Chains A and B, each alone.
Chain A
Amino acid sequence: MKSSLLWKRVWRHKLFYLFLLPGIVWFFIFSYVPLYGLQVAFRDFTFVGGFTGSPWAGLKYFRQFFDYYQSSDIIRNTIVISLMKLLVGFPMPIILAILLNEIRNLKFKKTIQTLSYLPYFVSWIVVVTLMQRLLSMYGGPLNDLLSSFGAHPVQFMNNTTWFYPLVLGSDVWKNIGWNSIIYMAAIAGIDQQLYEAAKIDGASRFRQIWHVTLPGIRNIAVILFILATGSLMSAGFEQLLLLNGPATASIGSVLDVHVITSGIQQGRLSYAAAVGLFQSGIALILIVTVNWIARKVSDVSLF
């Protein structure tokens, strides 16, 4: 009786299941099949053998990675770069959103917003090409300017001294505006009466920001922070693939790029899969832990 009722409901929604079908199939092929294929990290992968037909290799490839003389450098670089991006790149959009909110001149505010969102829509390859042109030692505008003041030309690109500032700077420049949108939305949702009440109590602009604006964006900031910790093990492969070179490899080689170069370029697929699994395993542990802490401390959590 009950099952026939359910069947009736399902049948009534047949068109909607048809609408779902392409997505179900796509997510199965492009998300779940690769998950199943993760076992190549424990096998000696051959293309003929495929995911399940290749012989088992146990932890051989994990051991190979940890025995690799650069593996600790690669892990350290990944964590250093993504921690830098988290510590600087995370608060920046919040600061920008608060500053924008304090601007009373609407036209000026709109212009800043339009300009700050724009870099997000430009590809990393364009950003790096521009950086290389602007910072070049051979006729780059910045070095021209420096030498017109009598300074020696500085080699910015492919230089360990400037590598981290450039990675961090270009990352902030590209994402600050875009990431501020979500905080702008949260600030717009704050009840204006709270500001009125604070003003009546004699709160200055800074006190208003501290007691009204910041608590108003707290929840969304916690959620975004949890999400950001999930990517601590990936330092941004597009940017680093393009910015890192032999000269900066000692501080610029990161896990994501190592997976791509060893796997796709050198064809060591099982090894690269093992490195990738190590990376996403740690990421999963991080995100679950931070989520748990956030739920305990602030009652806000992702899941």
Chain B
Amino acid sequence: MGALYFYPRKFTLDNYAQVFDNRQIWQAYKITILRTVIGTAAHVLLCTLMAYALSKKTLPGRTFFTFYIFLPTIFSAGFIPYFITLQKLHLINSFWVYVIPMLFNFMHVVIIRTFLQGIPEEIEESARIDGLNDFQIFVRIILPLSGPVIATISLFIGVAHWNDWFTGAYYVSDKNLIPVQTLLQQMLTEAEALSSSMQRAAQQGGQTVNVNMAGATPESMRMALLVITVFPILCVYPFLQRYFVKGVMIGSVKG
């Protein structure tokens, strides 16, 4: 192997061409995009529905339902019972294990609820006088006014979906269902095994050349894969920054 230097020896896009030629990477990228789009849309919709209901001060049982979704954040059952539940639901090794277990989040519901409570009640009242029913009010009045909070939650959950490597690594074994982050993790594990065997060889005074390089992904390719996983986040991040700062603030007022 040639020496590596602090500065790149030569600028090239070949690594990216190689990455996009690799069928497994394409498949993983597709899974990542699919789970992020479907997971984010479903999460935002369902959390908003729940938050809207909980924002109604006149709703009988409102305190009970809020406590019902709060309790698990204080005491959770932990990995194993959760894992067995996923098994019983036949979610292991299925695409839906990425989407369904991430449909709701207590903090996100609270953030949306607090935002919705800030919408003046007169707006809803006048819409009701104009003859709109509850469902029409939600679709035509509430949703259009919730743009900022929906953007915030979309960013939170979208990034969580995009960055999740754990689900793919531990709940999925089908190679065609693995997202990019899990692929990156597998390559990291490979590379670490390789580098520790190189260390061992060096400590024993042997030639590092003898270490079997086959099976490990070339470093340049791993770095190219890393760039294409981070790039989309870097693209949307600056535009959403003011929204998520607001979201954190809403969440902090009523934790």
Which A residues fall within an 8 A CB radius of B?
6, 9-10, 13, 15-17, 19-20, 22-24, 26-27, 29-38, 40-41, 45, 47, 50-51, 114, 117-118, 121-126, 128-130, 132-133, 136-141, 144-145, 148, 155, 157-158, 181-182, 184-186, 220, 223, 230, 238, 242, 245-247, 259-260, 263-264, 269, 272-273, 276-277, 279-280, 284, 287, 302
Give which listed residue, A118, A223, A259, contacts B237 with CB less than 8 A.
Answer: A118
Q: Tell whether A128 pairs with B188 under 8 Å between CB atoms, given A16-B53, A284-B74.
A: yes
When the two chains form their complex, are residues A284 and B135 in contact, meaning their CB atoms are under 8 A apart? no
Q: How far is the CB of A128 from chain B (nearest CB, A)?
A: 6
In the complex, chain B residues 122-173 whose Cβ is within 8 Å of any chain A Cβ? 134-135, 159, 162-166, 170
Give which listed residue, A155, A245, A259, contacts B80 with CB less than 8 A.
Answer: A259
Of all chain B residues, the one with the shortest Cβ separation from A277 is B78
Q: Is B222 an interface residue (CB 8 A)?
A: yes
- Specify which chain B residues have a CB less than 8 angstroms from the CB of A20 in the assembled complex: 49-50, 53-54, 65
Q: How far is the CB of A209 from chain B (nearest CB, A)?
A: 21
Of all chain A residues, the one with the shortest Cβ separation from B50 is A23
When the two chains form their complex, are residues A37 and B188 in contact, meaning their CB atoms are under 8 A apart? no
When the two chains form their complex, are residues B53 and A19 in contact, meaning their CB atoms are under 8 A apart? yes
Q: Is B38 an interface residue (CB 8 A)?
A: no
- Specify which chain B residues have a CB less than 8 angstroms from the CB of A136 in the assembled complex: 195
When the two chains form their complex, are residues B81 and A19 in contact, meaning their CB atoms are under 8 A apart? no
CA A158 – CA B166 in complex, angstroms? Answer: 21
Contact with A along B80-92 (1 / 0, CB 8 A): 1111110111000
Q: How far is the CB of A150 from chain B (nearest CB, A)?
A: 15
When the two chains form their complex, are residues A264 and B81 in contact, meaning their CB atoms are under 8 A apart? no
- Specify which chain A residues have a CB less than 8 angstroms from the CB of B47 in the assembled complex: 23
Residue of B3, B79, B103 ringed by the most chain A CB atoms within 10 A: B79
When the two chains form their complex, are residues A129 and B50 in contact, meaning their CB atoms are under 8 A apart? no
When the two chains form their complex, are residues B233 and A273 in contact, meaning their CB atoms are under 8 A apart? no
CA A246 – CA B196 in complex, angstroms? Answer: 10
When the two chains form their complex, are residues A138 and B195 in contact, meaning their CB atoms are under 8 A apart? yes
When the two chains form their complex, are residues B222 and A129 in contact, meaning their CB atoms are under 8 A apart? yes
Which B residues fall within an 8 A CB radius of A?
3-6, 46-47, 49-50, 52-54, 56, 58-60, 65, 68-69, 71-72, 74-85, 87-89, 101, 103-104, 109, 134-135, 159, 162-166, 170, 181, 184-185, 187-188, 191-192, 195-196, 198-199, 219, 222-223, 226, 229-230, 233-234, 237-238, 241, 244-245, 248-249, 252, 255
Of all chain A residues, the one with the shortest Cβ separation from B133 is A15
- Specify which chain B residues have a CB less than 8 angstroms from the CB of A37 in the assembled complex: 77, 81, 84-85
- Specify which chain B residues have a CB less than 8 angstroms from the CB of A117 in the assembled complex: 241, 244
Residue of A9, A22, A121, A263 ringed by the most chain B CB atoms within 10 A: A121
When the two chains form their complex, are residues A17 and B53 in contact, meaning their CB atoms are under 8 A apart? yes
Please give me the 8 A-B residue pairs with the lowest Cβ-Cβ distance, nearest first: A139-B4, A276-B78, A37-B81, A123-B163, A34-B77, A31-B72, A34-B81, A273-B80
When the two chains form their complex, are residues B58 and A9 in contact, meaning their CB atoms are under 8 A apart? yes
- Specify which chain A residues have a CB less than 8 angstroms from the CB of B248 in the assembled complex: 181-182, 185
When the two chains form their complex, are residues B249 and A181 in contact, meaning their CB atoms are under 8 A apart? yes
Q: Tell whether A6 pairs with B241 under 8 Å between CB atoms, given A15-B134, A263-B80.
A: no
Give which listed residue, A121, A132, A133, contacts B233 with CB less than 8 A.
Answer: A121
- Specify which chain B residues have a CB less than 8 angstroms from the CB of A9 in the assembled complex: 58, 60
Besides the contacts A29-B85, A140-B4, A158-B195, what 7 more A-B pairs have beta carbons closer than 8 Å?
Answer: A23-B46, A125-B163, A125-B185, A138-B195, A182-B249, A276-B77, A280-B76
CA A26 – CA B89 in complex, angstroms? Answer: 12
CA A151 – CA B2 in complex, angstroms? Answer: 21
Q: Tell whether A132 pairs with B185 under 8 Å between CB atoms, given A19-B52, A123-B165.
A: no
When the two chains form their complex, are residues B199 and A31 in contact, meaning their CB atoms are under 8 A apart? no
Residue of A10, A130, A133, A279 ringed by the most chain B CB atoms within 10 A: A133
CA A284 – CA B89 in complex, angstroms? Answer: 28
Q: How far is the CB of B167 from chain A (nearest CB, A)?
A: 12
CA A246 – CA B200 in complex, angstroms? Answer: 13
- Specify which chain B residues have a CB less than 8 angstroms from the CB of A45 in the assembled complex: 84
Of all chain B residues, the one with the shortest Cβ separation from A28 is B68
When the two chains form their complex, are residues B78 and A40 in contact, meaning their CB atoms are under 8 A apart? no
When the two chains form their complex, are residues A247 and B81 in contact, meaning their CB atoms are under 8 A apart? no
CA A130 – CA B248 in complex, angstroms? Answer: 28
- Specify which chain A residues have a CB less than 8 angstroms from the CB of B233 in the assembled complex: 121-122
Give which listed residue, B5, B104, B234, contacts A139 with CB less than 8 A.
Answer: B5
Of all chain B residues, the one with the shortest Cβ separation from A50 is B88
- Specify which chain B residues have a CB less than 8 angstroms from the CB of A41 in the assembled complex: 80
